[in-house]
């Protein structure tokens, strides 16, 4: 069982994040979830999903929504400085920010650890653990690109949700699964969402 920190921020693309959460839990991983207030707004807009303010309520809601899974889910508040991933002594195996706003990406790129998401990402970089950022924005400004390059140099994986179409997707879910599959590949988590190239 791997421990994966998963963060939702206020960019469009919550279907990617929720599907990733589902796949991680169903594959038996331990997921530490944290989300911003803006992510709550996007979840309501894109999924008609009300993410609760209280972590305990969120755990119950998401467990009921995902239903059957063998992993573990723990939700943390955005200002919970006692959360495990806030310290390099207990960072977990990897972290994914999906979707990732340019504001969050900019804070991480410049070491501004003023909430649990930015701090956890900072910990991942300093501890040389896997950090995957899924920025959902277009077009990218020079500032966005410079921040992404800085993070890439620091060891982060920048993975915009740009789906391929060689697997002939038939639905929006197929497109979402393509992106989530690539994230899972980088986490080393087995899946059967899409066929691998050449198979």
Are 178 and 160 within 8 A, CB to CB? no
Q: Can you tell me which residue has the tokens 């303010």?
A: 53
Task: Convert the pLDDT of each residue in 45-76 to its tens digit.
Answer: 999 999 999 999 999 999 999 988 999 999 99
Indicate the pairing of strand 130-135 with strand 30-35: unpaired
**pTM for the predicted model, two decimal places:** 0.96
Residue ranges of alpha helices (H) inside the chain are 14-26, 37-47, 55-66, 102-109, 116-126, 142-154, 172-187
pLDDT for the residue 45 = 97
In 69-83, which positions are buried (b, 16+ CB within 10 angstroms) versus exposed (e)?
bebebebbbbeeeeb
pLDDT tens figures, 100-141: 999 999 999 999 999 999 999 999 999 999 999 999 999 999
Domains for the chain: give ranges and CATH numbers: 3-187 (3.40.50.1950)
196, pLDDT greater than 90:
no
**159, 184 in Cβ contact below 8 A?**
no
pLDDT band for 188, please (50, 70, 90 cuts). Answer: very high
pLDDT, one tens digit per residue, over 74-102 is 999 999 999 999 999 999 999 999 999 99
Q: Nearest to residue 62, comparing CAs of 38, 35, 86?
A: 35
């Amino acid at each position: 069982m791997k421990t994966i920190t998963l963060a939702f921020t206020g960019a469009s693309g919550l279907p990617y994040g929720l599907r990733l959460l589902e796949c991680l839990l169903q594959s038996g991983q331990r997921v530490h979830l944290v989300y911003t207030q803006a992510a709550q707004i996007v979840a309501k807009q894109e999924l008609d999903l009300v993410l609760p303010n209280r972590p305990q309520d969120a755990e119950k809601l998401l467990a009921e929504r995902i239903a059957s899974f063998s992993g573990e889910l723990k939700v943390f508040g955005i200002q919970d400085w006692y959360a495990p991933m806030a310290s390099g002594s207990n960072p977990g195996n990897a972290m994914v920010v999906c979707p990732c706003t340019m504001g969050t990406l900019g804070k991480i790129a410049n070491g501004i650890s003023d909430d649990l998401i930015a701090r956890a990402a900072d910990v991942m970089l300093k501890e040389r653990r896997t950090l995957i950022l899924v920025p959902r924005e277009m077009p990218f400004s020079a500032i966005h690109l410079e921040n992404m390059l800085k993070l890439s140099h620091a060891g982060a994986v920048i993975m915009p949700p740009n789906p391929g179409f060689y697997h002939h997707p038939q639905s929006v879910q197929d497109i979402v699964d393509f992106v989530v599959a690539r994230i899972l590949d980088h986490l080393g988590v087995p899946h059967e969402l899409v066929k691998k190239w050449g198979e």
